């Protein structure tokens, strides 16, 4: 090898080393994801195979309750900020492709199954705004007006549903709306009234058939069968607290990552140290699992064998793992102060855990419950891996 050639080789090797540690490498996105740094308005793009961070994306506004959905090619992350910001991020290059500040205060969003529409649910002004997923141009605004005076309700629990539909709940009005974009960009809106007091979040089952809204104002949940929206909402688990005074709720549970196994749904009880277990065919309660604190996220490992639960302040340093056959606690781990979120790798062999007050994201082996790696992240909250791109309601 000549000296010249050797030098070229060295440069190429050095460049490759830089690229593998950062953005710009020619690669797939199937094992990538983002972690929200809630206090600094940044995302870290992570590689779940190498268990490392690839880099940081800045300038995303207030991310204190941020959530993320993915384009169907799993290259672009749509980030919904608390301050009404909607940002489209290219996770391969680590750059912001488009950004709009579309409301004063918002809570989350969804992407249509065909990948063309991105919807955002807003607290203030209450309603839903729908954008072109390519350009982030406004396509449609749906104000959440209710009552004789035309008050606007906060909107929660927004999810996509099959057939270019979005489903969401009106916290102040106690209603569930279905916005149908199947005939173009003019939505046909179906209103379901009197679903229960103060729906606070909702989820859709993985098959896109059932929409379930948790109620804060009463013990129970509202269920809509999207194959038969004309039947309205049905109350399930009504009175699960059996009249006992609930404990004060220091953090609202989340329902997006709700645990559905083949036969059961696992639901957080509001204001109680319990996970409720429901039969998915009848939607009747079949059991309860006493747990360490008030559940926040209740998530099935993708193989459905276990359900992982984290808890509200002040008992938020712990995760418990429920065995779905015996409905008992199989294992308890204490990752550290303020465990905010968990995300399984697509087939469930590993789980990523945000430990906010330790400024860490830990990766655990779900077979041994051993910690495999740690990624330094400043005040981490939500973790969103790209496998969500291909799932209804995520």
Partner 1 sequence: MVARAAMTSVGAFVATVLAVASALAAGASVPADRLSPERKASLVHLLRHDCGSCHGMRLLGGLGPPLTAQALEAKPGEMLVATVLYGRPGTPMPPWRGALSETEVRWLIDLLKSGELQ
Q: Which residues are at the interface with partner 1 (CB under 8 A)?
A: 38-39, 62, 64-65, 82-83, 104-105, 107, 123-124, 154, 171, 197-198, 200, 216-220, 235, 238-239, 241, 243, 245-246, 248-252, 313-314, 338, 356-357, 379
Report the nearest approach of ligand HEC to the CB of residue 204 (Å): 24
200, interface contact from ligand HEC, partner 1, none, CB < 5-8 Å by kind: partner 1
What are the beta bridge partners of residue 295? 311
Nearer to partner 1, 287 or 337 (CB): 337
Q: How far apart (Å, rounded) are the C-alpha atoms in residues 252 and 295?
A: 9
Q: How far apart (Å, rounded) are the C-alpha atoms in residues 205 and 215?
A: 17
Nearer to ligand HEC, 206 or 249 (CB): 249
335: cis peptide before it, omega within 30°? Answer: no
64, interface contact from ligand HEC, partner 1, none, CB < 5-8 Å by kind: partner 1
124, interface contact from ligand HEC, partner 1, none, CB < 5-8 Å by kind: partner 1
Q: Are strands 117-124 and 105-111 parallel, antiparallel or unpaired?
A: antiparallel
What SS3 state is found at 115?
Answer: coil
Nearer to ligand HEC, 201 or 362 (CB): 201
Report the nearest approach of ligand HEC to the CB of residue 18 (Å): 44
- Residue 91 token pair: 């996770």
Report the nearest approach of partner 1 to the CB of residue 14 (Å): 41
Give the interface with ligand HEC as residue ranges (CB under 6 A). 249-250, 252
171, interface contact from ligand HEC, partner 1, none, CB < 5-8 Å by kind: partner 1
C-alpha distance from residue 17 to each of 14, 23, 27, 89 (Å): 5, 11, 14, 24
Q: Count of residues for the chain? A: 394
Report the nearest approach of partner 1 to the CB of residue 325 (Å): 31
Residue 360 neighbours by CB distance under 10 Å: 18
The candidate with the shortest Cα–Cα distance to 313, out of 290, 299, 335, 294, is 294
Q: How far apart (Å, rounded) are the C-alpha atoms in residues 19 and 87?
A: 25
Report the nearest approach of ligand HEC to the CB of residue 216 (Å): 9
What are the beta bridge partners of residue 265? 260, 278
Report the nearest approach of partner 1 to the CB of residue 274 (Å): 15
164, interface contact from ligand HEC, partner 1, none, CB < 5-8 Å by kind: none
Nearer to partner 1, 62 or 90 (CB): 62
What are residue 14's phi and psi, to 5 degrees? -60, -45
């Amino acid at each position: 090898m000549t000296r010249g050639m050797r030098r070229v080789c060295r440069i190429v090797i050095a460049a490759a080393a830089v690229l593998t540690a950062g953005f710009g490498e020619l690669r797939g996105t199937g094992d990538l994801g983002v972690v929200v740094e809630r206090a600094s308005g940044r995302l870290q793009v992570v590689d779940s195979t190498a268990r490392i961070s690839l880099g940081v994306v800045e300038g995303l506004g207030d991310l204190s309750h941020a959530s993320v959905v993915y384009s169907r090619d799993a290259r672009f992350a749509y980030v919904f900020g608390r301050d009404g910001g909607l940002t489209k991020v290219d996770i391969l290059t680590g750059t912001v492709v488009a950004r709009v500040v579309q409301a004063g205060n918002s809570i989350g969003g969804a992407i249509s199954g065909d990948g063309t529409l991105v919807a955002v649910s807003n607290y203030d002004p209450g309603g839903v705004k729908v954008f072109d997923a390519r350009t982030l141009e406004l396509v449609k605004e749906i104000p959440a007006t209710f009552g004789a005076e035309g008050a606007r309700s906060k909107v929660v629990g927004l999810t996509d549903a099959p057939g270019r539909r979005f489903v969401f709940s009106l916290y102040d009005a106690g209603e569930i709306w279905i916005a149908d974009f199947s005939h173009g960009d003019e939505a046909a809106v179906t209103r379901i009234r009197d679903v229960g007091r103060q729906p606070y979040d909702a989820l859709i089952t993985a098959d896109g058939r059932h929409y379930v809204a948790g109620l804060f104002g009463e013990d129970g949940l509202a269920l809509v069968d999207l194959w038969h929206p004309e039947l309205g909402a049905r109350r399930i688990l009504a009175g699960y607290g059996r009249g006992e005074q609930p404990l004060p709720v220091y953090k609202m549970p989340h329902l997006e990552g709700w645990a559905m196994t083949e036969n059961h749904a696992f639901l957080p009880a509001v204001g109680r140290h319990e996970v409720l277990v429901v039969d998915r065919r009848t939607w009747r309660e079949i059991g309860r699992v006493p747990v360490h604190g008030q559940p926040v996220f209740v998530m099935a490992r993708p193989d459905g064998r276990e359900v992982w639960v984290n808890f509200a302040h002040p008992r938020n340093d712990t995760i418990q793992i429920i065995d779905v056959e015996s409905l008992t606690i199989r294992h308890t781990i204490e990752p550290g102060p303020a465990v905010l979120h968990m995300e399984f790798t697509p087939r469930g062999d590993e789980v990523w855990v945000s430990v906010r007050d330790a400024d860490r994201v830990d990766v655990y082996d779900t077979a041994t419950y051993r910690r495999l790696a740690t990624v330094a992240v400043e005040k981490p909250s939500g973790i969103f891996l790209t496998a969500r791109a291909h799932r209804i309601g995520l």
